[in-house]
Amino acid sequence: MRKWMTRRNVVLLGVILLLLGGWWYQNKSKSKSKELRIEEVTRGTIEEVVSVSGEVEAEKKAVLNFPLAGKLGYVRVSEGESVAKGQALMGLDSRDVGAAEVAAYYKYLAADANAKEVEDSVKGHDKDESFVQKNDRVAAQTARDIAYDAWQTAKRAYANTSLTAPIAGIVTGLTTTVVGDTVGITDGLTVVDPQSLYFEIEVDESDVGKIRLNQPVQISLDAFESEEFSGIVQKIGFESRLSSTGATVYPVWVVFSPEALSKLRLGMNGDADIVLQRKENVLKLPIEAVVDGEVTLTGEPEKKVKVETGLESEMEVEITSGLSEGVKVVVR
């Protein structure tokens, strides 16, 4: 031990310890500097925004299905085709239904003729009509009413063999196009008015009180990654619903600008930013620069200053008092 503890070795050990201490101090200083960020109070625009997800829907969308089963008689449209209001789109083989409608009509004519004959036979006997006469008259009139109702039912059945467009729009969702195929009440098609497309979002109940009609909205759709669409709030739902996560939300309808409609498709997903408040030419800082109402000024030693804040966005906060433009602060 004494042999090792020579003067030369002690000096060497001291140098090593000094070097290690310098290395440790230098790395600690670098680490500390990396944790700090210097930001400057700037003047500009700040917005309070609610960001939510949504989907493109259509206000005018008609889902057309056959009310009865049968064989497909004709298909006069294809998916994606534009149609006019009242245009016949597809229908069942209506020959049997049509024959039943004609038969019901003739039965009504026969019942009507019989009722009129009975009514003629009792004319002038309003005061002295016998029980037998009254019974015959009422029976004939009732038979005529029943026959008329049966005819009207047959007419509706015949009309229902054809699906016609209740609105002008584009055909979507054809379930079958094979003539002769057996179809049922789940078969048919959908007609959508492309001019009625809107973006439906769900706003949490904690934010819905801040939503107003005609508020500006910026929409980003997954189908157009590099493009934003402008819109405004058109409707705010009156009744709440539960979101997929179980939260209480309210539906909000956002209408697109007219020039965007030609690009949109039903069911497109995306995100919407609703601008709740907007202030221009205000002092602002990154939101993490303000901690418990204070900011830390640069310098040695560092100095903390109390500030008052106003509008907040996700990234920035308005400084209403306590700092001036150009002041530099420390952000940890």
- Say whether pLDDT at 136 is over 60: yes
Q: How many residues does the chain have?
A: 332
43-74 pLDDT, tens digit per residue, is: 999 988 889 999 999 999 999 999 888 899 99
* CATH number for 184: 2.40.50.100
- Say whether pLDDT at 251 is over 90: yes
Residue 9, domain member (yes or no): no
Do 196 and 274 have their domain in common? Answer: yes
Residue 77: which pLDDT band, with cuts at 50, 70 and 90? very high
What tokens appear for 148 in the block? 């008329």
pLDDT at position 242, please? Answer: 93
The angle at the Cα of 17, spanning 13 to 20, to the nearest 5 degrees, equals: 140
d(CA 25, CA 42): 35
158-189 pLDDT, tens digit per residue, is: 888 899 999 999 999 899 999 999 998 899 99
Q: Which residue among 117, 138, 160 closes a domain?
A: 160
Q: Is 230 within 8 Å of 87 (Cβ atoms)?
A: no
Whether the bond into 301 is cis, omega within 30 of 0: yes
Residue 181, domain member (yes or no): yes
Residue 175 class from Cβ within 10 Å (0-12 exposed, 13-18 middle, 19+ buried)?
middle
pLDDT at position 13, please? Answer: 62
Classify residue 64 by its DSSP letter: E
Do 55 and 204 have their domain in common? Answer: yes
Q: Is 92 within 8 Å of 72 (Cβ atoms)?
A: yes
280-328 pLDDT, tens digit per residue, is: 999 999 999 999 999 999 887 888 999 999 998 888 999 999 999 999 9
What is the phi-psi region of residue 299: left when phi exceeds 0, alpha when psi lies from -120 to 50, beta otherwise? Answer: left
Least confidently predicted of 10-24, 88-102, 170-184, 246-260 = 10-24
Do 202 and 267 have their domain in common? Answer: yes
pLDDT at position 69, please? Answer: 87
Do 223 and 308 have their domain in common? Answer: no
The residue whose two tokens read 């560092």 is 302
pLDDT at position 47, please? Answer: 87
SS3 annotation, 166-214: CCCEEEECCCCCCCCCEECCCCEEEEECHHHEEEEEEEEHHHHCCCCCC
| More confident site: 146 or 6 | 146
What tokens appear for 310 in the block? 């106003």
Q: Which helix (H) or strand (E) holds 273?
A: strand 269-286
Do 139 and 231 have their domain in common? Answer: no
Residue 84, domain member (yes or no): yes
Residue 98, domain member (yes or no): yes
Residue 307, domain member (yes or no): yes
* CATH number for 322: 2.40.420.20
The angle at the Cα of 150, spanning 144 to 154, to the nearest 5 degrees, equals: 145
Strand order, beta sheet including 88-92: 162-164, 88-92, 70-75, 182-183
Q: Give the structural domain span for 151.
A: 94-160
pLDDT at position 33, please? Answer: 45
Averaged pLDDT, 123-131: 80
Residue 265, domain member (yes or no): yes
Residue 31, domain member (yes or no): no
The angle at the Cα of 306, spanning 301 to 311, to the nearest 5 degrees, equals: 130
d(CA 295, CA 327): 11
Q: Which helix (H) or strand (E) holds 45?
A: strand 42-58
Do 303 and 325 have their domain in common? Answer: yes
d(CA 221, CA 264): 9
d(CA 202, CA 253): 9
Residue 76, domain member (yes or no): yes
Whole-prediction pTM: 0.64
d(CA 129, CA 243): 71
pLDDT at position 32, please? Answer: 46
pLDDT at position 64, please? Answer: 95
For 137, residues 6+ apart whose C-beta sits below 8 A from its C-beta are: 115, 118, 119, 122, 129
Do 70 and 172 have their domain in common? Answer: yes
Q: Is 52 within 8 Å of 201 (Cβ atoms)?
A: yes
Partnered with residue 255 across adjacent β-strands are: 198, 232
Classify residue 85 by its DSSP letter: T
**Total domains, the chain:** 4
Averaged pLDDT, 114-132: 85
